[in-house]
Amino acid sequence: MELLGNLGTAFIALLDWQTILAMAVGVVLGILGGAMPGISPSTAVALLVPFSYNMDPRLALILLVSIYQAANYGGAITAVLINTPGTPSTAATCFDGYPLTQQGKAGLALGISLVGSCIGGIFAAIVLILFCVPLARVALKFSPAAYFGVAIFGLATVASLGGGNVIKAIIAVLVGLLIETIGLDPISGIYRFTFGSDLLYDGFALIPALMGLFAVSAVFEQFSEWTGLDRKMDKIDNMLPSFKDLWSLKRVILQSSVIGTIIGIFPGAGGTIASFICYDTAKRTSKEPEKFGKGSLEGLAAPETGDSASVGGALIPLLALGIPGSATDAVLIGAFMLHDIVPGPLLFKDHPAIVYGIFTSLLVANVLVFLIGLYGNKIFVKMVCVSDAVLFPLILVVALIGTYSVNSSLFDVGSCIGFGFLGWIFKRYGYPAAPVVLGIVLGKLIEYNFRRGLIMGGYSVFFTDKLAFFVLLSAMLSLFYPLIKTGLIRLRKGRQI
């Protein structure tokens, strides 16, 4: 009854014109951000985080969550029309989306992508509402040692999946953890690694790091690879999917909604893994697997549904435990902290209006994605044809202005550019940027709870606390499993030779 009461109150709060405007703006910006190649959901959200500083925290987070959800559909627009995934998670959408466009069925392809994305998003939002609150109540009983274990698990899982190279991902995580040690010690109050500069007393602010590693690095990367050629879009026909087409996809959409939500819950998995697994599963279970890659409607609906469903799934560990499930969730943690809100089990007790506002806005945002996407595809296509020579300088300016606006600090602007170069160098040599952010975000949580655990029970507490020991063991297995798997594969190949 308490859940229904809080949801009812949150739905009533959504009727406020400011909330509706925040969701609508978030959906439009999310679709555009997702549709522009090179602008991932994490970058789209990061660009708006500093501008949400002076907003009401509830409205700010509703805006950012709406961008997050909508960006996953936006990436399908360019994937379908020009065989270029707007976001990494829509790469699988190209397999059957672009062949449909070549067959003159671009409208059909975009319509199926839109419906699958919205159904997957709504399904995951319902799962989020049903399971997030009970999980948070269990997490309230966590000791500092157990919370340290959970933070390590989140860090290890994302590190093991980041960029496909475990060693490089671990190095990126360690860089983030080292950056977080700069400034005031959270326990003793001693200044560390400041080199006598009072500018570093508080360490590096999170917003410059986010903007630099995601937005500015994307600009540097695009200009380093810029060919001078503008994007060209095929014309969109007006043929939308019929009810018969959609009904024939009910099994695939439901199946992908479940798979996408479950994969999203695992920290580090994210929409890219969800979309590929949903595509593979759909092909394996299809009665017509030979059509996949040639314009299969099932092959189009599966990855889009799974990608969108992963958003709601990833928000479960974020809200209940304070552990980001993806790179975009790491950016959202930065948004929470910017508004002096700590995601985790206490969030449900201290800020219920924000939690249930996110729940309900996620449901409504999917409806808005459908309505705006249904009537706005032709407009969005024209807007994403903006020349890179105009688009990326504009993104750079917005990122720097947004960074400066939070603390009115030129040091933050310089830090943003510095982190941009760091992110660009990392990407150039195959090091993922997301683990760096997670190291910065989770570093303080890890250090604080580790030292609290030592004060309360010494090193033995991490073995005597059953929950802490279990989670830490899971983290170690998660971290070393890819290395062990790679070693076994090489060993088998060596024996075969």
Q: How does pLDDT run across 394-408, given as a tens digit for each residue?
A: 778 877 877 776 677
- How far is the C-alpha of 296 from the C-alpha of 109, rounded, in Å? 10
Mean pLDDT to the nearest integer, 377-402: 70
Q: Counting Cβ atoms within 10 Å, is residue 250 exposed (0-12), middle (13-18) or buried (19+)?
A: exposed
* Residue that the structure tokens 């299969």 belong to: 296
pLDDT digits (tens, 9 = 90+) for 407-434: 778 888 888 899 989 989 988 888 877 6
29-64 pLDDT tens trace: 888 877 776 566 777 788 788 777 788 888 888 888
Check if the beta carbon of residue 413 is closer than 8 Å to that of residue 146. Answer: no
451-488 pLDDT tens trace: 888 887 787 888 887 778 887 887 777 667 666 666 66
**Report field, pTM of the whole predicted structure over 0.85:** no
Backbone angles phi, psi at 105, to 5 degrees: -120, 40
How much is the pLDDT for 375? 78
| Residue 490 buriedness (CB in 10 A; 0-12 / 13-18 / 19+) | exposed
Scan for tokens 């009533």, then name that residue: 12
* Residue 15, burial from CB neighbour count under 10 angstroms (0-12, 13-18, 19+): exposed
Contact 204, 182 (CB under 8 A): yes
Q: Are the C-beta atoms of 200 and 183 separated by less than 8 Å?
A: yes
Which residues share a beta bridge with 191? 184
Name the residue ranges covered by the structural domains of the chain. 2-496
Higher-pLDDT residue of 311 and 140 is 311
State whether residue 386 is helix, strand or coil. coil
CA dihedral 58, 64, 67, 71 (to 10 degrees): -140
Is the predicted pLDDT of residue 216 greater than 70, yes or no? yes
Residues 257, 123: contact at Cβ < 8 Å? yes
Share of the chain above pLDDT 70, in %: 78
Smallest CA-to-CA distance from 80 within 55, 46, 104 is with 104
CA-CA distance, 119 to 31, in Å (whole number)?
Answer: 16
What single DSSP character describes residue 214? I
Q: What are the pLDDT digits (tens) for 62-76?
A: 888 888 888 888 878
Q: C-alpha angle 109/113/115, rounded to 5°?
A: 120
pLDDT in tens, 292-327: 777 788 888 888 888 888 888 888 878 877 777 677
* Sign of CA pseudo-dihedral 139, 471, 160, 281: negative
Six-digit token string for 310: 């992963």
